[in-house]
Structure 1
């Protein structure tokens, strides 16, 4: 008999009955609230042009580095999973075979959040009732493919079905934002899709393509970038363009959180050196930290929320990067220091009422030791929720325990799905809502919160807090 695929209504809830009943009650109050997604990687073209999803492989597998990483670790060639996403050379049979590979290895995902998200998508979105396996792969593929061919499964219809009220994309500073402009001018579209300013490549002067990048920045902004002062003016120009097109935040990811600025004289000297393509590793890091400080200064003036997510070793495996490019599963967590690194930035802007900073990390140990206490003191600072690698049930529960005692619920960001896998957005938000309700239920059961207080917090975590932190328009 083929094993069935079902979703238990009490998934992720405590085994102990009294606390489970409280968690159920809280969850019922928030489970159907609209989704606020202030940081993600869904291409805006999908929504603007309402591009249909072509097949289960390109929908579920090729863009999902979580899944790809697990399968690659078992010897599966990423090329056989359609990686990198967006390839135009994958035949229908190759797409089907990629899905067979995934279903044959379904057992590998036991105990992982990927299993939770995938089951939610298959059951809740597509009505699939059989468990993935080598035997059921073609059946599931055909059922999903048939539904993807219908109007109800195009991106805009799914945004309505999932009730995604707000979605932020991730965009290069030189992007013309035409898809965002297309959406803003479409009177038939009633959801909010906003750009996010993501300038990482323009701050990393040690990159081999950095000179070309800043030359492109000059071309697009109309501001010469042959000096550090020019680079600053060009960045200010593009931030203003993004803000005029609806952006609410600027997102930054670098190896560390260093924000110690150089003197203007030294910054100009290193910038000039970088323009020659000959800058040392430590000098490039010093220049990047100065640039990041300038980004904070700009944020304090233009009001774009500044999000930082350090502690990532990018493209750990050189051959994989050379074959497939970035963002295919080769990034890894590293440790990060926060208190000293952020001091220059927070001393300058931490009490500025126009500045808002959200710090994420994959270094779990920093939450209770550093980020929670920092956010508790500085009015401008918030702690980002568990994200990437630690956006898993036990990590999320540890996060709430670690941070709430130091910084309160109200100095956290609200849930961030951070995904390219469009159909996993509701599954990820549902997981977060369930786990936050579990934490609140524990506090009620321990007589540390009253039920009405827990109800109010549950609603705030889903709706009020992310709207406030990211200045999400009503």
Structure 2
């Protein structure tokens, strides 16, 4: 792996950072497309690589009045010239000053892609041409970049009904590290998800089970979890907009399942159904060893006019308040003391770190606190995270780092930012007499690399 660029850090922090900067990258949760490594085709153009798939980027541009169609996104952007998209991006480059996106993009442009000219409106064409030339080279194909980045493991996030054919191809490709799937059953478990009925039909076809029947539905989910495990999966992932778990008796859940299949549940019933299914997933995780990830608190698609016109995931997802103690109560009291269970929790409500999650992870054996997520995965967000969780949860109830990104080329930049944040935090702990230098060095390795391996129960990384 090429050495990451270093910004100026205080001497103690720099010493700690240099000890962890070039450790292998473990990326146990993210949203990269496995087809990249299955086909190893070149990335098409700079706009498709850096702008159009990255909601961190296009939401900022949209906030300043740039239509998504002008960025080549949605029906109106279908025929947009990628060079024109890149020029528009360069014209608004200063919008990203002060944001982690600016730091990730600079790392990607100047370090990973080796762009020589600083990006600006007047250099847009030259930078575009430099990137185009790089993308035409075999050393910038997905598999070559995977090797160059020093990735030992990368997890994708896949629908429960994915045939996992891309993962089969990757496993036979001779890639230096591993690309593994993650079991994401939201469209099967949450009746309020668009496409719920179609997903049930796909599950029935794939498993040859009658998913209209609750017992057969549960058996089909077990079948798919086993298939994911056979493909190398170590975890499941669950998007939970309104955190609620509950355990229903057999008559209640079978009745709700019948109504879920028919599409006649009201909002309260749908939440109860999903809350019960999350407990079912926790019980299955205790049985089969898949680590359960819960990402909670995102209010999805709040710009209804935009999502109706263009589709979901257009940058209008906003953090919401959460009650973790009440929301996870039924799950934890049913299965939270089982030593086989591991649950990683991710929050967009920062106020819950010190008030709820750190005390909970400092008690429940199954819980680990995930790293700062989404709106908070910045240097300041990392600092706030450690300040809020460590005193109560310690370091060994933390899940390390995952980049949780769709932007493959930003992965080294995101891990570099985390490692810088770790070094700054540990240096501050030394300065305040909380840690000595040898303790801080051990914790640096833990937080930068080892904690993720432990949290996700990854073998051989």
CA distance in 2 between counterparts of 1:246 and 1:281 reads 36
SS at match of 1:404: helix
Q: Is 1:114 the counterpart of 2:114 in the alignment? A: no
The answer to which of 399-408 and 266-275 deviates more is 266-275
Q: Which runs of 5+ in 2 are unaligned?
A: none
Q: Is 1:127 the counterpart of 2:108 in the alignment? A: no
| TM-aligned CA deviation for residue 208 of structure 1 | 4.8
CA distance in 1 between counterparts of 2:267 and 2:255 reads 15
Equivalent residue runs for 1:257-276 within 5 Å:
257-276=243-262
Match of 1:73 in 2: 63
Q: Is 1:10 the counterpart of 2:7 in the alignment? A: yes
Match of 1:331 in 2: 317
Equivalent residue runs for 1:5-404 within 5 Å:
9-11=6-8, 13=9, 20-83=10-73, 89-90=78-79, 94-186=81-173, 188-404=174-390
Match of 1:17 in 2: none
The answer to which of 190-199 and 310-319 deviates more is 310-319
The answer to which of 64-73 and 327-336 deviates more is 327-336
Preserved CA contact (<8 Å) 1:63 1:84: no
Please give the per-residue CA displacement for 1:358-388, whole angstroms capped at 9, x wherever unaligned.
0001100011110111011111110011011
| TM-score for the superposition, normalised by structure 1 | 0.94
CA distance in 1 between counterparts of 2:332 and 2:93 reads 46
CA distance in 2 between counterparts of 1:90 and 1:467 reads 43
CA distance in 1 between counterparts of 2:184 and 2:163 reads 13
CA distance in 1 between counterparts of 2:367 and 2:395 reads 13
CA distance in 2 between counterparts of 1:195 and 1:396 reads 27
| TM-aligned CA deviation for residue 288 of structure 1 | 0.6
Query: How many residues in Structure 1 have an aligned counterpart in Structure 2?
Result: 457
- Provide closer, same or farther for how the CA distance between residues 63 and 208 of structure 1 changes in structure 2, counting only shifts above 3 A: closer
SS at match of 1:364: coil
Preserved CA contact (<8 Å) 1:195 1:246: yes
| TM-aligned CA deviation for residue 159 of structure 1 | 0.7
CA distance in 1 between counterparts of 2:330 and 2:180 reads 30
| TM-score for the superposition, normalised by structure 2 | 0.96
Match of 1:4 in 2: none
CA distance in 1 between counterparts of 2:192 and 2:184 reads 18
- Provide closer, same or farther for how the CA distance between residues 399 and 132 of structure 1 changes in structure 2, counting only shifts above 3 A: same
- Provide closer, same or farther for how the CA distance between residues 255 and 129 of structure 1 changes in structure 2, counting only shifts above 3 A: same
SS at match of 1:410: coil
Preserved CA contact (<8 Å) 2:26 2:153: yes
CA distance in 1 between counterparts of 2:108 and 2:407 reads 11
| TM-aligned CA deviation for residue 8 of structure 1 | 7.5
| TM-aligned CA deviation for residue 210 of structure 1 | 1.6
| TM-aligned CA deviation for residue 84 of structure 1 | 5.1
SS at match of 2:237: strand
Once superposed, which parts of structure 1, at least 4 consecutive aligned residues long, lie more than 6 Å away?
Answer: none
SS at match of 1:458: helix
CA distance in 2 between counterparts of 1:323 and 1:160 reads 39
The answer to which of 211-220 and 144-153 deviates more is 211-220
The answer to which of 450-459 and 120-129 deviates more is 120-129
Please give the per-residue CA displacement for 1:341-372, whole angstroms capped at 9, x wherever unaligned.
11211122222121100000110001111011
What is the RMSD of the two structures over their aligned residues, measured on CA atoms? Answer: 1.6
Preserved CA contact (<8 Å) 2:422 2:448: no
CA distance in 1 between counterparts of 2:73 and 2:177 reads 30
| TM-aligned CA deviation for residue 209 of structure 1 | 2.5
Please give the per-residue CA displacement for 1:445-471, whole angstroms capped at 9, x wherever unaligned.
111101000000000112211101101
